[in-house]
Structure 1
Amino acid sequence: MTHAPAAAVALPTSDADPFAAEHLAQPEPLHQQLRQAGPVVHLTRYNVYALARYREVHAALVDWQAFQSAAGVGLANFRHEKPWRPPSLLLEADPPHHDAPRRVLREILAPPALRQLRATWQTAAEELVDTVLADRGSQFDAFTDLASAFPLRVFPDAVGLGPEGRDNLLPYGNMAFNAFGPANDLVKADADRAADLSAWVNAQCAREALSEDGFGSRIWAAADRGDLTHTQAPLVVRSLLTAGVDTTVHGLAATLYAFATHPDQWQRLRERPESARVAFDEAVRWQSPVQTFFRTATTDVTIAGALIPEGTKILMFLGAANRDPARWLDADRFDLARDPSGHVGFGMGIHQCVGQHVARLEAEALLTALARRVERIELTGEPRRHLNNTLRSWAALPVTVRPAS
């Protein structure tokens, strides 16, 4: 990958719509087509350049100078279009504007803070699993009763949100991640709730709405110290709420789906509960809750001989990169014996998800609690997807479990 123009090669093209329902529901066939077509594919429908191989996706993610986020990580180009809400100071900003918010969040979410949460979250996970098994019995919806319920219980507590209105968090995240795609029917379906959801979330980011002992109040304290401006503080809280719920919920659902369809791997987890974090990362690689993100070329860039003109959008297929057979042996298999480190499910480089260790801690707590109590987990019906322009998300995951004796 070079920043200087070079003799351009003929680019493969595709008129496929990656945001069409059939591709959002089952993206692997399109991913395979794009990987096989070449390192760069011109998507004519949107006039964007697609990267679906691991090597090129990874390189673009770490090269923030040539592939900027500040023009938006969605299809909309902020150079020419007004964002629908103030841009994220983490996702949609580059240095130097990105530096202070990320530094503050990195300190707040550092290992000492997470160690303080470990015991509380483990207890909460055990209580939730016990309640589900007692109230629902051996059959329940693993998406609603576990993957959604646990993050919505513990993460808003950690941020410092009150108990009211938490059911707005998933719809708001769904709307925010939909907005990274084109203005299709999925975006239009959110239109009637957009103002109310945005107003509710913005209200939760105010200092007075947050408890004194949570992540949110620490963000405001950083503003008091001058590490952030007081204008930036609520936007950083908003970024935490936007990115910290939906991705974890759907990552947990992917993990439970993986175990329900790979019983041998569930037994491996039960035998080695210390592998819970590896299991979560492997599920994030295998199912990639965040499927795509865009970047914008800051200059003419040559990738594998293909010239990407300055100012054009690049669509990075994180899910496709995470199943690239050139990078991963038996890439389509969920396998706890694999080392999944290096996957791009949390991004890479300076924009890599700052809250990924929070998500891993939530997963470790829930999976450990479940593995102690459940001998077997299997599907009892067809799982249902909830379509989203960016997220590989879920609507239902019906399972039957056999309690451990």
Structure 2
Amino acid sequence: MTPNAAPELRGGALHAALAAGAPVPGVPVSDVDPFSVEFFEDPHRIHHELREAGPVVWLSSWNVWALARYAEVHAVLNDWGTFCSSRGVGMSDFAREKPWRPQSLILEQDPPKHTRARNVLGRVLSPAVMKTLRERFAAAAERKADELLALGTFDAITDLAEAFPLAVFPDAMGLPKEGREHLLPYAALAFNAFGPDNELRRKAMAEAGPHVAYVTDQCARERLAAGGFGAAIHAAVDAGEITAEEAPLLVRSLLTAGIDTTVNGLGAAIYCLARFPEEYAKLRANPALARNAFEEAVRFESPVQTFFRTTTRRVEIGGVEIGEGEKVLMFLGAANRDPRRWEEPERYDIELKTSGHVGFGSGIHMCVGQLLARLEGEVMLAALARKVGSVEIAGPTRRRYNNTLRGLESLPVTIRPA
């Protein structure tokens, strides 16, 4: 990486020079590919290099700008007027190419259209609604903990991190029983699609047909049971808050975001608690720490690793002027371990005050499913804390590769009764 100094070129001219491979004084350059298997296996070393290179780094692998420090990532997430989502939160620029699906009203729109949609989902997934679900979800978590104790040794991803959300979320949505196996592959597809045109994205697109067809079908009003999240979204049409064309897109957003954050966050929490037994001992002693144990796992492992924004005007970041219409890649995982923001960021600490982490994003485009994810993570970890005396890794772990998400494919563990 080149040292930081005052750049001589600005805006589009700077972008053009860097894209042509010309060295530009003052602009740190990295050839790392953040969408490679090598990166997915060990992102933390590269996160450190990017943070220390400067507040903004040019990624020559894909000709985009990168931000890895907390302050810059947080600022961009909270400035939708300058760094828009409506041109895509992935590598694709919707001003220059057609989206692979109709744009998300939540992730891929800005105010005022985003505001109307966000208000509807904010009410459908409000804290008051979460309170009505707590008892049901907690009972399901108790049953799941008993099932796992009976097994003793199991895969914490398939048997827990995936199984528990899939046992409670589809019912809360009002989905029919058949076809739910498409939910996880569809979410993986959507988040792979935010990456570049690499092998992961191409493979996901090639296999997309059945998953897209299922989710599209479930978004229709007549497919969703009364009393669920989906029916509540469609009811907003009757109230004149959204249109009949927008309602299925909002349902789709919730089907996309309603599981992946919880699955990868819960998987990360179990992985952390197994690797840091002293933290699990704290949780055992005080199950009320379950919510923070989940929150800290989201900071520590950052299940959502990256998101893009597109500049709407010329803007200066860290002394470098970036032109209009340029892609900026935010490394949420790097920001969440930035020592400029956190003391001992490389330590998993369930008593850490995690407020301000960007694992769920920040600003108006924060994860719509975060309250749901927190509720599921909290009740499941609390149930384990009350019933399980120890959690130990019982075999080799395997990572799941995705252009945006970070999680495990397999995590064998052994648990013992309290």
Whether TM-score is above 0.5 comes out as yes
Q: How many angstroms does 1:147 deviate by? A: 0.6
Amino acid at match of 1:157: D
Question: What residue number does 2:77 align with?
Answer: 61
The equivalent of 2:307 in structure 1 is 293
CA distance in 2, matches of 1:98, 1:275: 34
Note if 1:47 corresponds to 2:60.
Answer: no
Q: For residue 6 of structure 1, report the CA deviation from its aligned partner.
A: 10
Q: Identify the residue that residue 141 of structure 1 maps to in structure 2.
A: 155
Q: Take 2:318 and 2:107, find their aligned partners in 1: how far apart are those partners?
A: 26
Deviates more, 1:289-298 or 1:370-379: 370-379
1:328 aligns with 2:342: yes
Per-residue CA deviation, residues 207-251 of structure 1 (Å, 9 max, x unaligned), is 011000100000000011110000000000000010111111000
Q: Secondary structure at the match of 1:324?
A: coil
SS in 2 for 1:315: strand
| 1:226-245 alignment runs, 5 A limit | 226-245=240-259
- Spell out, residue by residue over 1:119-163, the C-alpha distance to the aligned partner (whole angstroms, 9 max, x if none): 0000011111112222x2x21111111110010110111111111
Distance of 1:111 and 1:190 partners within structure 2: 34
Report what 1:13 is aligned to: 29
Does the alignment pair 1:174 with 2:188? Answer: yes
Task: Note if 1:90 corresponds to 2:76.
Answer: no
Query: Which residues in structure 2 correspond to 1:246-261 (within 5 Å)?
Result: 246-261=260-275
Which residue is equivalent to 1:362?
A: 376
Superposition TM-score, scaled by structure 2 size:
0.93
Task: Choose the corresponding residue for 1:104, options 120, 123, 139.
Answer: 120
Q: Which amino acid counterpart does residue 91 of structure 1 have in structure 2?
A: L
Q: Per the alignment, in what secondary structure is the counterpart of residue 98 of structure 1?
A: helix
**Within 1, Cα distance between the matches of 2:156 and 2:36?**
27
**Aligned residue type for 1:387:** Y
Is the 8 Å Cα contact of residues 149 and 388 (structure 2) preserved in structure 1? no
Q: How does 1:181-260 map to 2 (within 5 A)?
A: 181-260=195-274
1:190 counterpart SS class: helix
Q: Tell me the SS of whatever aligns to 1:334.
A: coil
SS of corresponding position for 1:344: coil
- Give the aligned partner of residue 276 of structure 2: 262
Whichever residue aligns with residue 305 of structure 2, its letter is Q
Deviation at 1:164, TM superposition (A): 1.1
1:165 maps onto 2:179 in alignment: yes
Residues 297 and 311 in structure 1, CA contact (< 8 A), matched pair in contact too: yes
Report the Cα distance in structure 2 between the residues aligned to 1:263 and 1:78, rounded to whole angstroms.
Answer: 46
Over the residues paired in the alignment, what is the CA RMSD in angstroms? 1.3
Deviation larger for 210-219 or 190-199: 190-199
Answer whether contact 1:6 1:307 (CA < 8 A) is retained.
no
Cα deviation 1:225-281 (Å, max 9, x = unaligned):
110000000000000010111111000000000000000000101111111111111
Q: Residue by residue, what CA displacement relative to the aligned partner does 1:307-343 show, whole Å, maximum 9, x if unpaired? A: 1111000000000000001111110110012101100
Structure with the larger RCO, 1 or 2 (CA within 8 Å, 6+ apart):
1
The structure 2 residue matched to 1:350, chosen from 342, 348, 364, is 364
- Conservation of the 8 A alpha-carbon contact between 1:300 and 1:309: yes
Instruction: Give yes or no for the alignment of 1:35 onto 2:51.
Output: yes
Q: CA deviation at 1:188?
A: 2.0
Decide whether the 8 Å contact of 1:6 with 1:302 is kept in 2.
no
Which blocks of at least 5 consecutive residues in structure 2 are unaligned?
1-6, 11-24
After TM superposition, what 4+ stretches of structure 1 lie above 3 angstroms from structure 2? 5-9
Q: CA deviation at 1:18?
A: 0.7
Deviation at 1:7, TM superposition (A): 8.1
- The answer to whether the Cα contact below 8 Å between 1:7 and 1:305 also exists between their aligned partners in 2 is no
Instruction: Deviation per CA, 1:23-72: give whole Å up to 9, x if none.
Output: 01221111111001100000112111000000000000000000000000
Residue 378, structure 1, aligned to residue 411, structure 2: no
Distance 2:261 2:181 in 1: 15
Q: Specify the alignment match of 2:323 in structure 1.
A: 309
Percent identity between matched residues is 56
Letter in 2 for 1:132: L
Q: For residues 92-130 of structure 1, give each alpha carbon's deviation from its aligned partner in whole angstroms, at most 9, with x where no partner exists.
A: 000011011100000111111111100000001111111
Match of 2:17 in 1: none
**For structure 1, which runs of at least 5 residues remain unmatched after alignment?**
none
2-structure distance, mates of 1:207, 1:276? 36
Question: 2: CA distance between counterparts of 1:6 and 1:283?
Answer: 42
The answer on whether the counterparts of 1:6 and 1:305 sit within 8 Å (CA) in structure 2 is no
Say if 2:397 and 2:411, in contact at 8 Å, map to a contact too: yes
C-alpha distance in structure 1 between counterparts of 2:361 and 2:143, whole Å: 32
Q: Secondary structure at the match of 2:113?
A: coil
Q: For residue 20 of structure 2, what is the aligned residue in structure 1?
A: none
